[in-house]
Structure 1
Amino acid sequence: MNDSWLAAAVAALKPLGLNYAFALDVGERTAFLRGLVVTLQLCLLTIPCSLLAGIALAAMLTSGRRLLVAPARAFVELTRNTPTLVQLYCAFLVLNMLITQHMNGRDMSNPLTPLFWVVLVVSLHKAVFHAEALRAGIEAVPRITLEAARSLGFSRRQLLWQVELPLALRFALPALVNNLVDLVKMTAVASAIAVGDVTYEAIMIWTQRDNVLELLLLILAWFGLLTWLVSRAGQWLEHRLRMPGYGQ
């Protein structure tokens, strides 16, 4: 039943000049669906990892301690001023190779997969943008609010985690959501090191068939859906975390 419905859909699109015959091949169809899942998996892994790393970097940048601020600032400048793809190549083709050589010298295999390196690099790359957005949010917290917290005996750590970050998150939320939308699209770099995401699987299919346009349309639709979901979640959070009367 499903195959007949799929065959009918492919036949209906053919007069429009769209060749989706690959969907009738079980192997190619399975590979493409697997690619959709891998892309979703990358998004679900990189979003929380990038946010946690961004919070840590923001805390370092606003700590007021030179030993924390200096390396954090250097990392931010280096990361945001170099292309993500170059960072991924450096991590996977250089750092991963060195780890592999070291592990082979001890008769052990390298446990770090290409998927791990994509999650690490993309998460850290976006984390610096999260950190800058949060830093701006922290600096936007009214001084009178901080003075009130200090008068209640809040320590520097309590001030950061219980006053500054909760307020900074609300101030920075639109920028953070924008960063996350960009992060979803950025996961497509995974195909550069043969991680089987939707882009990589599509490339493997269109090298065998003349259907580049058709697969690109599907890729655009998938990423459009994912980014729309992230945007909608961000709008819900903005409404949910809005503080009635604050700033009025």
Structure 2
Amino acid sequence: MSEALLAQAVTALKTVGLNYAFVLDLGERTAFLRGLGVTLQLCLLTIPASLAAGVLIAAALTSGRAWLVQPARAFVEVTRNTPTLVQLYCAFLVLNMLITQHVKMPGGNPLTPFVWVVIVVSLHKGVFHAEALRAGIGAVPRVTLEAARSLGFSQRQLLWRVELPLALRFALPSLVNNLVDLVKMTAVASAIAVGDVTYESIMIWTQRDNVLELLLLILVFFGLLTWLVSLAGRWLEERLRMPGYGQ
């Protein structure tokens, strides 16, 4: 969009009381667009990372081995019962400081604030994925498991080839709901000065006093992202549906 069209749009919006003059400033416009990109990066990294964490935690919870089940259960209870923001502060302000003090590497601590957001958000939502998958594993019909055992499947093969593929289908609506929440949760990145869309918007509105206008943009942006995740989830449900299974 050319500068002239942007100026016309800004002028038109002023007539309804919305001040979007920041888009005419190259520096502020670039910062806002950069924030959009950082938020997209966070989503693209935390979605697969949280799913991988969920699968591993669910596997530990359903392993039947006490040395795996008990630590996994303790981790789930602590993680899901404490706020994400508190976890992020503890990770970045405590663990990060300890790592910085003890790691002797060229360039110092490789864990940037961005990386800490990915780790904390992925693990936080991973425990919710794990519980959804655990419920899905419990919903696998007993006759299906008996049939797999009669074919000589080991416990590990039973989990990875039978239980998890079916559990994924059973738990998919819950997983998609968790991913929608994850997309919104990435906004906590602004709390430790990661330059996501929320942080960059805060930097802009402290100079221009246009909080309402930027919040509207943030709402539209996250609404679009969560809608796309929901759309992908519905597509997967249709794609992975097994006609007649369980009937």
| TM-score (normalised: structure 1) | 0.98
- 1:64-213 matches, within 5 Å, as 64-103=64-103, 109-213=108-212
**One-letter amino acid of the counterpart of residue 168, structure 2:** L
- Counterpart-to-counterpart distance in 2, 1:97 and 1:80: 24
Partner of 2:60: 60
In the alignment, the residues of structure 1 paired with residue 120 and residue 113 of structure 2 have an alpha-carbon distance, to the nearest angstrom, of: 11
Percent of aligned pairs with the same residue?
83
- Taking the aligned partners of 1:241 and 1:107, their CA distance within structure 2 comes to 47
Aligned letter for 1:91? A
Q: Residues of 2 paired with 1:139 and 1:19: CA distance?
A: 54
RMSD: 1.0
Q: After superposition, give the CA deviation of every residue in 1:179-238 in whole Å (9 maximum; x if it has no partner).
A: 000000000000000000000000000000110000000000000000000000000000
State the Cα distance separating 1:103 from its structure 2 match: 2.8
Distance 1:134 1:26 in 2: 47
**1:239 aligned to 2:238?**
yes
User: Shift of the alpha carbon at 1:247?
Assistant: 1.2
Q: Which runs of 4+ in 1 moved over 6 A?
A: none
Distance 1:108 1:32, change over 3 A: closer
Rounded to whole Å, the distance in 1 between the matches of 2:78 and 2:109 is: 27
Pick closer, same or farther for the CA change 1:156–1:214 going to 2, 3 Å.
same
Structure 2 regions of 5+ residues with no counterpart?
none
Counterpart of 2:214, as a letter, is: L
